[in-house]
Amino acid sequence: MTELPEPVWPVLVLAGLLFLDAVMSMRPPKFIRDCLDGVRFPRDWWWTLIVIKLLATAGLITGIWVPGIALAANVGVVAYFLCASAAHFRARFLGKEFWVNCLGFLTTAVLVLVFSFLV
């Protein structure tokens, strides 16, 4: 295992996707609203997800130069989407939003963790 990502580009891709997701969540399109409503996540708390994703983005980018930060952020992103998956299962909301959004991000985060830090 390495404390600095190698290669770096997968970490940058994940950071870019999270940043895009955070920006889109500021005025969520229908598929994001459907996802959050589907798992019965309170609308008053939606802003917290934006903050989490922006902090993860900052951690991934900072961690390109500061040992351990990107690794910790990447592990946090995996944990976030594992929790999101659990929320989907608990709510029995397993439509396309779950398979594309939630599991898509989880798969991407796990692949980045494996190829940038573990291999």
Count Cβ neighbours within 10 Å for each residue of 39-55 and write b for 16 or more, e otherwise: bebeeeebeebbeebbe
31-56 pLDDT, tens digit each: 999 999 999 999 999 999 999 999 99
- Which pLDDT score is estimated for 62? 98
- Which pLDDT score is estimated for 95? 87
What is the spatial distance between Cα 9 and Cα 85, in angstroms, rounded to a whole number?
Answer: 26
Flag whether 30 is in a domain. yes
Domain that holds residue 70: 9-118
Prediction pTM value: 0.93
- Report whether pLDDT(96) > 90: no
Flag whether 107 is in a domain. yes
Flag whether 64 is in a domain. yes
- Can you spell out the DSSP letters for 55-79? HHHHHHHHTTTSTTHHHHHHHHHHH
